[in-house]
Structure 1
Amino acid sequence: MSFPWAKPYEPTHPLMQWLDQKLPLPRFVYNATGGGYPVPRNLNFFWNFGVLNGMALVIQIVTGLVLAMHYAANSGIAFNSVEHIMRDVNAGWLIRYVHMNGASLFFTSVYIHMFRGLYYGSYKAPREMAWLMGLVILLLLMATAFMGYVLPWGQMSFWGAKVITGLFSAIPLVGEPIRTWLLGGYAPDNATLNRFFALHYLLPFVIAAVVVLHIWAIHIPGSNNPIGVDVKGPQDTVPFHPFYTAKDGFSVAVVLTLFAALVLFFPNALGHPDNYVPANPLSTPAHIVPEWYFWPFYAILRAFTVDFILPAKLLGVLAMFTSIFLLFFLPWLDTSPVRSGTYRPLFRKFFWFGLVPCVFVLGYCGGAPAEQPYIVISQIAAIYYFAHFLIILPIIARIEKPLPLPTSITASVLCVPDASPDAVDAQRRK
């Protein structure tokens, strides 16, 4: 987005002037994150999770590179190589725990970032591409996390790989060849570890590339804001630096403090005890469950227990993937002209008392045993999840009467009906 009132980049040092002529990288960074990129002045702390996502990605890439130097992708020694990292490598235990819990940090930040986008309408025009790029990042992140979970080659790693890849066999005709190709054979083994390790190493860099596209797609129309009103002029914006770099820095410090407490005092709290037992193809765990960030989708998968036209297993697989791909069509399912849920009273009720509890219920049921009453509860929650996006949201967009929108961002911030420059100056003098 073009901001004519943005302060242009003007290097003063001779070296920076020469670099700006030959390779204008400092100018690019300045325009992307500095005074050359004004942002709405009313962004709240929910907008800090974009930076936290980037921080989590950097943590995962750096720690992953170190772990890759000591890991052996061989079914005979993979588990022992992880133990070698924990016991013999200098600070290996810390690096491994940071990487292991960093995945949870990443998913937590991504999910909050997504719910913020859902509530404040960041998926609506003109920011559809930014939303779509974000969903691509989510899919790549889920694939990376699944493959990484297999690498320690514990009991849950082995059986998780066997169960999840076995889902593809439910697809008629092409399912079994896809499963065999993923595993490199008919069961998880050396070929599986080699493939998963190679992809787990590669995909974070692909995610980083898509993140660049995601940020680019945001910068073209400009950032959304809590009231969903477009920027009207320079009085509605502040430079990203130093205002939001300071705010983001505070959030990074708080999150890193909490993350350090988790890693140092409760490093195994989010792990599964069975994954500290070497993989044994002849001993099936009593309760096979993926990592917590997959639980809502796992609950949808298990919600289908009866054949209806198609086999129940295939219905579950289709529903699980559809629950994610459905979000790609959200910009066209919600046709309301108002972006922010703050000014949509009916949407707000269904969001906070319908969708959010539904996702938490699915998450709880996904981590629970595959028995009653969890199956029935997950079936009800899955029905509501799809109904919310396919039925409720389109109906709300048609019948809802939104609240009056502020005339501008400044009018909302200063609580004045008139946001002209003269009125803003008068308010500031008061």
Structure 2
Amino acid sequence: MFSTNPKSDRILAINELKHLRPILPKAPKFCPVSNILYQFLGFPVGIYNTYLAPSFPKLELEMACRNERCNGCGRQLLVPSEAQIIRCDACEGITRISRSSVNPLIRAGQDTINHTVNRVKSRMTRVMSMPSPNAARPANPQYYQHQLSQPFVPKPLMPPSAYGRKRAVLCGVSYNGKSYKLKGTVNDVHCMKYFLVDRLGFPNHSVLLLTEHETDPFRIPTKQNMRMALQWLVQGCQSGDSLVFYFSGHGSTQPDYSMDEIDGIDETVCPVDFETEGMIIDDEINATIVRPLPHGAKLHAIIDACHSGTVLDLRFLCRINREGHYVWEDHQFSPTYKGTSGGIAVSISSCDDHQKSADTTALSGDTSTGALTYSFIQAADNNRGSTYGFLLNAMRHKIREAKTGVEMEPQLTSSERFDIYSTPMVL
């Protein structure tokens, strides 16, 4: 991976790619060459239909691009004409490019582009063909071999049935070796998988697990792996599809730099490497798995974490009192669009934004579980076809009855209002 003069080659390659990158063709999903380039250059190159918004001077070929405003920080971004999604390098926010704003790709300067491509390919071939010095090799000798294989590759979604296709991403983060380690998250994930596959008929190959017990490094719940899993969840989504995102782990908050929250606080989930790589904020989760949902598709998020009430940034929050009376609160605070592309997104979370959730043995008797996970599976499995209102009240009653020692009230948020006592929950 390193030449005899790695710093010089890396700088030259980066400088050339900076002029090339805005109009690179999109790489195939999970492209191994893109993974190698990412390791070498330090930024993604046409991976997953996502482009990194560069911070470099005006380009000679900017005629093939256009300007878009970052939904996160409001910064002007130079966007390739064919891009569908843009990630800002300032705030790392993700902005989905609407079809109406996309201009046809201008082919001007193609000879210059091809010339640059050839120079970069030649340089990268020479750099990547050089053996690594022993001191620079990673501890795992099969690391590079794995880089050249595809990361996790669950099979494609099943062909549409009468009820659409089903797909799920289940993340359980234990934070092993840390003072804030959680005991029940891996058990939670396997219970949720059993419920989805054995009880609700989700195809086993369409359920992706991320835990620290996995042997595949791409199935460890790191920030990067969780991002890839969320992109996989909605990839190729069609009308009639049913998607599930489940997370059991720590949740937290941070200041709302994009100023789109009523309370000035962003909710987050914590990957296993959040101390070094950072948390995943609600804005990014919304942009990745909520906004792409097409008409007729449905997403359910089940979030067993602290401060998780509005972690999907959905517009409507259902407030229910102990008598079962409810009202939908509109949390649309900024002009930033947080809805879907015609589908429906629903989130069931363990507690309100200001509350904490419990990892406890009080419900199962001898095994640590997330209070939300246990009460949700029990209520949904024992009352098939029940309404959202019935399930939410049953979950709250079960948690209060268990006396977990933590004040937590499961919350319901949605991309649109509906009658919770007449609408059945169907995963």
TM over 0.5: no
Q: What is the TM-score of this pair, normalised by structure 2? A: 0.24
Q: What is the TM-score of this pair, normalised by structure 1? A: 0.24
Instruction: Give the number of the structure whose residues are more often strand, by fraction.
Output: 2
Higher relative contact order (CA 8 A, sep 6+): 1
Which of the two has higher C-alpha Rg? 1
